[in-house]
Structure 1
Amino acid sequence: MIAVIMAGGKGTRFWPRSTVTKPKQFLTLASEEATMLQQTYARFRSCLPEENVYVAVSENYLPIVREQLPELGENRIIIEPEQRDTAPCIALTASFFMRLERDEVLVTAPSDQYIPDTEELMEALRAAEQAARNDGVVVTLGIVPTRAETGYGYIETIENVEYAAKFGERIKEVKAFIEKPTKEKAEKLIELPNMYWNSGIFIWKPSTIAGYMMEYQPQMWSVFDLKDDEFRQSYALLPKLSIDYALVEKLERLYTIPIEFMWDDVGTWTSLERIFSTDGDGNLLLGNIFPFATRNSIIYTEQQLVVAIGVEDLIIVSTEEGLLICRKSDEQNVKHAIAALTADQEGRQA
């Protein structure tokens, strides 16, 4: 089995700590010693041989990857000419291994997830690998939900005795993908026994990816027949599509291995409350901070002293890049606000 760590995301919901020049996968968010990328790499290296762990990254982040993973050989870096979301990245990955005439099962995994139990993760991946060896079979890890989360997509499954007998008792057939729900809908979804969070971790063969790309995204797949400058120019023009939207939601031979161990995609500031301990007032304080009559808030500062008085249910983040002040309940809008800010700045420069 081969693990491909996708390290090309922007992590805008972690602004102003996560920036375009150094997004969250290259930051020490879930650990004081290692970045998210370093943790993910170590997780797979603890269970797989060195030659079977790869990193897929856009060209502009190559220097950071080389700095943070000096042990990673150049032949194990899959380079995207530009960031184009997970569908082009995974298509590039499949093309990369097809050219090497290697069709072992791939795990395509994000670089910014928190999974402390490596042993249980690998046990689930090995179970998924058995099914994914079959042509056309795609397996994902489904997370047993612990709260009414609006920031994740959901997977609805059904029991299938035939598939369970063929691929193992743990496996479930996927009936439908459900987009990120409202709070009210999420509260109903987590009451259902056949509902899981979509982890974004997929297990499949390069030939399986290639076959589905030719069927559902032929224009995108045709780009990988091009060479050198023509390929680079065409890749830069590919649509920014997630792999879920481009392929996975369209598939029939799709299965899930449910997992119950600790998992978090570390996608927002409040996710840190599930990793680190809060104080007696429910505050998560990172940096030089003096809270006074402050409750249930997340405050981060890199250098200057922050004094918070009478603050409740807020996210306050101070870095050289900027200052964020946001209600916890509005944190999903950080991404949209930064997109609007970027568009405004680009409009002023035009």
Structure 2
Amino acid sequence: MKAVIMAGGKGTRFWPRSTEEKPKQFLQLASDRATMLQQTYERFRSCLAEEDIYVAVSENYLPLVREQLPTLKAGQLMIEPDQRDTAPCVALAASFLLNRGIDEVIVTAPSDQFIPETAQLMEALRAAESVAEEDETVVTLGIVPTRAETGFGYIAASEQVRAERYGHLIKEVKAFIEKPTKEKAEQLIQDSNIYWNSGIFIWKPSTIAAYMRRYQPQLWSVFQSSGDALKQAYRQLPKQSVDYAIIEKVEKLYTVPIAFLWDDVGTWTSLERIFDTDGEGNLLFGSVYPHGVRRSIVYSENQRIVVIGVEDLIVVSTEHGLLICPKSEEQKVKEAIAALNSDQEDRKG
């Protein structure tokens, strides 16, 4: 089995700490000793041979990858000409490997997830691998939900168990469910066959190619070219997630339910599930002086911050900007930063 770590995202919901120049996967968010990318790499490195781990990254972040993972060889870097979301990235990975005669099962995984139980993860991946070796078969890890989360997508699995491998059940996926409302999420988690969609997929490069040809022929045709022609065509591809492009259309799709600790480190409040809060439920980073503050996240990079009499608030100050946001509104940070960037581009124009 091989691993492809996808490291091309922008992580805008962690603004202003995560920026376009240095997004969250290159930051020490869940650890004070390693970046998210380094943690993901070490997770796979503990169980796979060094030469079996690849990193897919856009050209502009290549220097950061080389700085943080200096032992990676050039042949382990899958370079995206531009950031076009996960569907083009996965297609690039499949083309890259097939062109080198490699068709063993691969794990395509985000670079920004928190999974401390490495041994349990690898057991689940081995179970998935045993099924993904079949042609045109895709397996995903389904996370047993622990709360009514509105920031994740969900998957609905069959009650019937297809197989049990390495101590893990394998079930058929019946449907995908978009990020739900709070009320809908509370209903979903009452069903024992509902799981969070981890975004981790286990499949063969030839399986990816088959589904790309079937459902995204224009996207896949880009990889029939090479050199500058491929780069130009890639940059023109529409941004599209691999879930929407092919996963939701796959005929042979299964999930391995897992109950160990997992988190998509996508928002500021996700840090509350990784780090211990103080006696008032606060997470404080840097020179922060709270007075009558409860259940808040305050991060200061370069200056002292005094926060008085607030609850359930996110306050982040870095050299790139200042964010003040109620926790309940943090899913809107991405939208707000998109508007900010658009306004800045308009002013430049």
TM bin, normalised by shorter chain, reads over 0.9
Change (3 A) 1:165 1:10: closer
Superposition pairs for residues 26-65 of structure 1, below 5 Å?
Answer: 26-65=26-65
Residue 68 of structure 2: aligned partner: 68
Superposition pairs for residues 126-275 of structure 1, below 5 Å?
Answer: 126-161=126-161, 163-164=162-163, 170-275=169-274
1:344 partnered with 2:343:
yes
The offset of 1:160, in angstroms, is 3.3
**Superimposed CA distance per residue, residues 115-145 of structure 1 (whole angstroms, 9 cap, x where no aligned partner):** 0000000000000000000001000000000
RMSD value, Cα: 1.2
Q: Percent identity?
A: 70
The residue matched to 1:238 in structure 2 has which SS?
coil
Residue 326 of structure 1: aligned partner: 325
The offset of 1:169, in angstroms, is 6.0
Residue 15 of structure 1: aligned partner: 15
Residue 285 of structure 2: aligned partner: 286
The offset of 1:311, in angstroms, is 1.3
The offset of 1:319, in angstroms, is 0.1
The residue matched to 1:215 in structure 2 has which SS?
helix
**Superimposed CA distance per residue, residues 3-30 of structure 1 (whole angstroms, 9 cap, x where no aligned partner):** 0000000000000000000000000000
Segments of 4+ in structure 1 off by > 3 A? 165-169
Q: In the aligned structure 2, how far is the partner of 1:304 from the partner of 1:164? A: 56
Q: In the aligned structure 2, how far is the partner of 1:168 from the partner of 1:56? A: 31
Return the letter of the residue paired with 2:203.
Answer: W
The offset of 1:251, in angstroms, is 1.1
Please say if residues 13 and 333 of structure 2, whose CA atoms lie closer than 8 Å, have aligned partners that are also in contact: yes
TM score, norm. by length of structure 1: 0.98
Residue 88 of structure 1: aligned partner: 88
Q: In the aligned structure 2, how far is the partner of 1:227 from the partner of 1:103? A: 20
Q: In the aligned structure 2, how far is the partner of 1:238 from the partner of 1:179? A: 23
Residue 109 of structure 2: aligned partner: 109
The residue matched to 2:284 in structure 1 has which SS?
strand
Q: In the aligned structure 1, how far is the partner of 2:145 from the partner of 2:176? A: 15
The total of aligned residue pairs comes to 349
The residue matched to 1:308 in structure 2 has which SS?
strand
Return the letter of the residue paired with 1:102.
Answer: I
Q: Which has the higher strand share?
A: 2
Structure 1 unaligned spans of 5+: none
Return the letter of the residue paired with 2:109.
Answer: A
Residue 308 of structure 2: aligned partner: 309
Please say if residues 131 and 167 of structure 1, whose CA atoms lie closer than 8 Å, have aligned partners that are also in contact: no
Change (3 A) 1:344 1:92: same
Please say if residues 130 and 167 of structure 1, whose CA atoms lie closer than 8 Å, have aligned partners that are also in contact: no
Residue 98 of structure 2: aligned partner: 98
Change (3 A) 1:147 1:166: closer
Please say if residues 124 and 168 of structure 2, whose CA atoms lie closer than 8 Å, have aligned partners that are also in contact: no
The offset of 1:159, in angstroms, is 2.8
Structure 2 unaligned spans of 5+: none
The offset of 1:348, in angstroms, is 1.3
Return the letter of the residue paired with 1:327.
Answer: P
Change (3 A) 1:165 1:9: closer
Please say if residues 88 and 240 of structure 2, whose CA atoms lie closer than 8 Å, have aligned partners that are also in contact: yes
Q: In the aligned structure 2, how far is the partner of 1:227 from the partner of 1:117? A: 40
Return the letter of the residue paired with 1:335.
Answer: K
The offset of 1:252, in angstroms, is 1.7
The offset of 1:47, in angstroms, is 0.2
The residue matched to 1:159 in structure 2 has which SS?
strand
